[in-house]
Structure 1
Amino acid sequence: MDYALFWFCLIGLLWAGYLVLEGFDFGVGALLPVLGAGTDAADTEKRRRLMLTTIGPHWDGNEVWLLTAGGATFAAFPHWYATMFSAFYLPLLVLLVALIVRNMGFEYRGKRDDATWRRRWDLAIIGGSVLAPFLVGVALTNLVRGLPIDQDMEFTGSVFTLLNVPSLLGGLVVLGLSLTHGAFFLALKTRGEIRGEAARLGTWLGLGSALLAVALLLWLGLTQGTAWTWLTSAVAAVSLLAAIGANTRGAEGWAFAGTAVTIASAVATYFLALFPDVMPSTLLGGLSLSIENASSSELTLQIMSVAALVFTPVVLAYTAWTYWTFRKRLGTQHIPEAVSVR
């Protein structure tokens, strides 16, 4: 068994799981100022609390997928991890700060019954929910596009090297898909006015995301494309259009499933475009990091594989149980009055 290839595929699966699951709660957080706007201050607060309640049981568990992806990369591909964190040091620092501030917003906005207090934490949630998926999209697209890496596996560029048109487009696509995914999730999980508003907004967000995604996937196909990447790109495009169509017919569950397949297919396209490299070099005479030259020892990968085969089904079962337990719809009538905790 090729353990290095197994872990490359598993890391791709972890990134797909992260963006599918964290993607919708990014979308919900980013849509707070749009779908959380009520007729008055009291209605606005109830709507925002309803939106945050829909993701309350899930957002912290969803972030485990990112931690696991990072940990798996560190253990299975240490050279990939080292070069990637060297290249993306500043963006990853900003991403970490955005996630921390966003999570503090979830935890602290209800600690006081004060409008100014809540408004400031809402800004933290909104800012983190917009910035995080954008930065993830920029980073992943830069991986596929390639970076200036020398013979010593060292990144020789700067932060401005990362700010190129394809990668910025990748950031917008991940953000757009997260917004669409989040809108469909709210349409699936809520009742009343928010449900209809989320469905209508999701259609427009989906159409805008589709245009951006087509441009990005065409670029990927024309520059690093193979028969497999064209296939997964087609699956992503068809799934997104099917999700929009299901949403217009009121089939929110199918719409949400469609955007989940779209995001997973987009991640698969990225990793298929990378293969057999993990970080291609754009330098003439540079050394691209591949699955083989960036991986850990065979014994390390074997031990990791046994652990993954034992614990991954447990994590998946627990995650599925959590989503099943909190599957019912909520409305503003289910939201109690605010209570100050001092």
Structure 2
Amino acid sequence: MQLHDVWFVLIAVLWTGYFFLEGFDFGVGVLTKLLARDRTEKRVLINTIGPVWDGNEVWLLTAGGATFAAFPEWYATLFSGFYLPLLLILVCLIIRGVAFEYRHKRDEDRWQTNWEHAIFWTSLIPAFLWGVAFANIVRGVKIDEDMNYVGSLFDLLNVYSLLGGLVTLTLFTFHGAVFTSLKTVGDIRERSRTLATRLGVLTAVLALVFLIWTQVSHGDAKSLIAMVVAVVALVGALGFNLAGREGWSFALSGVTIAAAVAMLFLTLFPNVMPSSLNEAWNLTVTNASSSPYTLKIMTWCAGVATPLVLLYQGWTYWVFRKRIGTQHIADAH
């Protein structure tokens, strides 16, 4: 395996980590409207992800930075062709971070309500758009012989990609509901388990259609194995949720996300961004990568830094591992 292949795998791992971690806090953000009955319960939901949401976004920064350094042609074509959707995601992430920090700064009802609306929409929109983006990458987009995207925004809004967006939105919200039941006590825990069951059924239907479509159109034996793992894990997550085993349910919903991302990257390889105009114009791990020397330096840096980041983030989750409920929320001023 050459270094550009190694970095393709590492980037897939980074996106898997991002969707696993940011997926549940996107889901919790959406649940502030779907699950919480009053402001106190909204504060409970936000507090479950309060210590970790910003750390989860580090995975996105690392994935983007690794793509820029390891596959500059892929990065350039992706970020120019998908400019508007990615800009919208970026704006949402900025507003979302501000909303978490500013919501509690003033006690006025209107002030807090506006920031709570912002948390909901800036969680829902990226959760949907990431699915649209990755579905288009797998499907192939209009790339010419100079590695430039020559399509329009409306070319990205096709049935397959919109279905992919619905899958990520429902899957992340299900993942968030299971996380909520794992991190809370009392009535909100029971209601999150009930909602997770409903969301899980809807997710299973949408995901099965999307994954089968992907496998038939672009898959091989390896991607078929990943698809089976994703489906079995999702069914298992639903079963453990019904049995009240939140830990196992959360772990398996994470496996579902990891297997689904693995399937998408397996259908891509050795391409990183297929051209729908001409297969000869596909961006591949070979023609889109940096020099071997650059990849070698990156590999050494990643080998040193990655374990430290994982240890620190793991320690953060351990420190804030306890469940919370409405009884832990102090009264407003």
Q: TM-score when scaled to structure 2?
A: 0.99
How far off is 1:316 after superposition? 0.8
Which amino acid letter does the alignment assign opposite residue 73 of structure 2? H
Residue aligning to 1:30: 30
Which amino acid letter does the alignment assign opposite residue 2 of structure 1? Q
1:122-271 correspondence to structure 2 within 5 Å? 122-271=116-265
How far off is 1:104 after superposition? 1.2
Q: Aligned partners of 2:135 and 2:56: how far apart in 1?
A: 22
Q: Aligned partners of 1:47 and 1:123: how far apart in 2?
A: 15
How far off is 1:100 after superposition? 1.1
Residue aligning to 1:18: 18
SS state at 2:321 partner:
coil
Q: Per-residue CA shift, 1:13-60, capped at 9, x if unaligned?
A: 0000000000000000101012111xxxxxx11111111000001100
- Tell whether the 8 Å contact from 1:8 to 1:291 is kept in structure 2 after alignment: yes
Residue aligning to 1:40: none
1:232-311 correspondence to structure 2 within 5 Å? 232-284=226-278, 287-311=281-305
How far off is 1:286 after superposition? 5.2
Task: Flag structure 2 segments of 5+ consecutive residues without an equivalent.
Answer: none
Q: Per-residue CA shift, 1:75-99, capped at 9, x if unaligned?
A: 0000000000111000001111111
Q: Aligned partners of 2:15 and 2:316: how far apart in 1?
A: 20
- Tell whether the 8 Å contact from 1:148 to 1:286 is kept in structure 2 after alignment: no
Of the three residues 51, 57, 68, the one matched with 1:57 is 51
Percent identity between matched residues is 56
Q: Aligned partners of 1:306 and 1:315: how far apart in 2?
A: 15
SS state at 1:278 partner:
strand
Aligned length: 333
Q: Aligned partners of 1:285 and 1:6: how far apart in 2?
A: 23
Q: Per-residue CA shift, 1:217-245, capped at 9, x if unaligned?
A: 00110011100111000000000000000
- Tell whether the 8 Å contact from 1:151 to 1:285 is kept in structure 2 after alignment: no
Runs of 4+ aligned structure 1 residues displaced above 4 Å come to none
Task: Flag structure 1 segments of 5+ consecutive residues without an equivalent.
Answer: 38-43
How far off is 1:284 after superposition? 3.3
Residue aligning to 2:2: 2
- Tell whether the 8 Å contact from 1:149 to 1:286 is kept in structure 2 after alignment: no
SS state at 2:281 partner:
coil
How far off is 1:285 after superposition? 6.4
Which amino acid letter does the alignment assign opposite residue 319 of structure 2? T
The yes-or-no answer on 1:79 pairing with 2:73 is: yes
Q: Aligned partners of 1:119 and 1:84: how far apart in 2?
A: 36
Q: TM-score when scaled to structure 1?
A: 0.96
Q: Per-residue CA shift, 1:91-116, capped at 9, x if unaligned?
A: 00111111111111111110111111
Q: Aligned partners of 2:311 and 2:171: how far apart in 1?
A: 26
Q: Aligned partners of 1:65 and 1:142: how far apart in 2?
A: 21
Residue aligning to 2:62: 68
Of the three residues 298, 307, 310, the one matched with 1:313 is 307
Residue aligning to 2:322: 328
Q: Per-residue CA shift, 1:232-259, capped at 9, x if unaligned?
A: 0000000000000000000000011010
